[in-house]
Chain A
Amino acid sequence: MSFLSVTRVIKRFGDVEAVKAVDLEVPRGAFFALLGPSGCGKTTLLRMIAGFEQPDDGVIAIDGVAMNGVPAHQRPTNMVFQSYAIFPHLNVFDNVAYGLRRDGLGKDALRARVEAMLATVRLEGMGARRADQLSGGQRQRVALARALVKQPKILLLDEPLGALDKRLREQMQVELRALQKSLGITFLLVTHDQEEALSMADHIAVMNGGRILQIASPRDLYERPNCREVADFIGEINFFHASVKEIAGDNVTCNAGLLGIVPVPRRAFGFAIAAGDHVLLALRPERITLSGGTVAGEIAAASFLGERSHYHARIAGRSEPVFVASSGPAPQGPVMLGWNPADVIALPFVE
């Protein structure tokens, strides 16, 4: 049994099923992200783990203990709220010390523990500051310190970086990651920002419409998405309709219309196929080359981004452009699009 185990959990709000029979296993010490668009049920799931909402069905267990009926204040979890929820009537020190009152620490021990935690989140000497004297980044650190000082089994983070500007966000991503590694506490992050999830988490569960679509490492999610929604949600991608022409051992050939006959390795299909099946083939922009290929096209738009350039290539007979990312020299005139068969992502076709 894993450290956090969510089994067939269902949550309804009136007639709406916000979370639909979700299963989730989070190993001890992991940095795990729940990624999905707003309204996908990720925050509801997090709030059920924290104990702010009760599941209508299913079991949530932490470290082998079922949490059904255990109120939020008795759970071994602590949360960094999206709004940070810093107590405005307390200073930084008292905010961080808030949850330690019941732990029966002596005055000196309590002070030492709070000061150590403030140092960990780089807020040394800020204990006397009032909540309204803090910047956004500092508020975030106070929220983090206040939760971590309780030494939770799982730290829950609800869109923790959403309110910060881009620069600070990137800095905090690195810091959070380092903090998680050094403390060894299991982090469960909820975010709609794929970059945030990809850069910090070891494991990502992609959610949509109250369901988990796929759970994988960031790299596998990017290179081996299991459905169109995941492929579309993580990064840029080009989709091509195709049908399976022939299956011969490890080699599959597909008829991909404008792309012609396309060979795809059998292992690219994570699902059962038979000749004649409709499938969806997908290619990441950086996996497409602009020369030496077999598909003729021309560049409709180009944008130079420094270390690489983005192109929109038009293929005769296809309305939407093919998105290509390349670091090579700018192409002149017509292009011949090509790719390595091993880079083709094969997905089930759903009407």
Chain B
Amino acid sequence: MRNRGLLVYAAAYLAFLYLPVLFLPLFSFNASQYIAFPLTGFTTQWYTALFADTAMLQALSNSLKVGVVTAILSTLLGLLAAKAVTQYRLKGTGTALGFIGLPLFIPDVVLGIALLLLLAAIGFPLSLATVVLGHLCLCTPFALAVLIARFEGFDRSLEEASADLGENGWMTFWRVTFPLMLPGITASLLLTFITSFDEFLIAYFLSGTDATLPVFFWSQLRFPARLPVVLALGALILLASVVLVVLAEVVRNRGVAPDKKTIGA
């Protein structure tokens, strides 16, 4: 009995989580522009309209650019910081980590306004670059957390063994450190990309005239007639996210099966 109760609970939980999401693709193929049952017929016109919309394509391209640049930069910063924190004994490590992680606990709206005020004060024009700057504050702590966990289980004698066998620091990084860190780096890139790609508030404040996708999304909601197109866009993003996550898992499992004893999780 108790097991069945838990099962029902689990099913309800998953339904609550995912059924609304499934409405997105469902209504994106519905012929009516009103979001209501019964469905009136199958159409791909919203998708056609979507790809004809240059503003949307521009926003998508903006978001991809911001996401990719943010992911690479925050993972790079996280990689260096994680290596420093875990492999060298430095003064003030705890304090530094606390300040790096703080943006996670500051409301995004506060962070966004604060950054906007700062940029306005120094006269820095708003652009996609400023969105990247804002997203770095948010994404670097994520990257750091993922990579520190990886580095903590890393056996330093592996790097020493590589040096001992004649490889310099640079080659040791590429032949030993990087392959062993690859699962962590992949996870960090993915996490930071998704975080940046989804982020609305900071992008809203800092994007100026170059809207990112979530900002564009928001602006379109003012026009009821545009809603099915927005749904089509949402459905595509959903599909892309699923593909991305599955791909990352496959790469992670195939790329390196790390020795649990030396690498840890």
The answer to the question of B191 belonging to the interface, with a C-beta cut-off of 8 Å to chain A, is no
Query: What residues on A are CB-neighbors of B172 within 8 Å?
Result: 73
A150 touching B158 in the complex, CB below 8 Å, given contacts A88-B258, A89-B179, A89-B180? no
Query: What residues on B are CB-neighbors of A85 within 8 Å?
Result: 155, 157-158, 160-161
User: CA separation between A150 and B161, bound complex, in Å?
Assistant: 13
User: Which 10 pairs of residues, A with B, have the shortest CB-CB distance?
Assistant: A88-B259, A99-B165, A85-B161, A85-B157, A72-B163, A73-B163, A132-B259, A79-B164, A89-B179, A81-B157
Contact A81 B161 (CB under 8 A): yes
A71 touching B260 in the complex, CB below 8 Å, given contacts A85-B155, A87-B176, A89-B180? no
Most chain A beta-carbon contacts within 10 A, residue among B158, B166, B257, B259: B166
Contact-size category for B = 20 to 34
Q: Determine the residue in chain A with the shortest Cβ distance to B175.
A: A98
Contact A88 B163 (CB under 8 A): no
Query: What residues on A are CB-neighbors of B166 within 8 Å?
Result: 73-74, 99, 102, 150
Query: What residues on B are CB-neighbors of A102 within 8 Å?
Result: 166-167
A selection of 21 A-B contacts at a CB cut-off of 8 Å is A50-B164, A52-B163, A73-B163, A73-B164, A73-B172, A77-B164, A78-B165, A81-B161, A85-B160, A86-B259, A87-B161, A87-B176, A88-B158, A88-B180, A88-B258, A88-B262, A132-B257, A132-B259, A132-B261, A146-B161, A150-B166
Most chain B beta-carbon contacts within 10 A, residue among A81, A89, A102, A131: A89
Where chain A touches its partner, the secondary structure class is: mixed
Contact-size category for A = 20 to 34
Bitwise interface map of B from 175 to 200 toward A, beta carbon under 8 Å scored 1, else 0:
11001100000000000000000000
In chain A between 70 and 120, which residues have their CB closer than 8 angstroms to a CB of chain B?
71-74, 77-79, 81-83, 85-89, 98-99, 101-102
Query: What residues on A are CB-neighbors of B256 within 8 Å?
Result: 89
Number of A-B contacts (CB under 8 A): 73
Query: What residues on B are CB-neighbors of A72 within 8 Å?
Result: 160, 163-164
Query: What residues on A are CB-neighbors of B163 within 8 Å?
Result: 51-52, 71-73
Query: What residues on A are CB-neighbors of B167 within 8 Å?
Result: 73, 98-99, 101-102
Q: Determine the residue in chain A with the shortest Cβ distance to B172.
A: A73
Query: What residues on A are CB-neighbors of B260 within 8 Å?
Result: 132
Query: What residues on B are CB-neighbors of A150 within 8 Å?
Result: 165-166
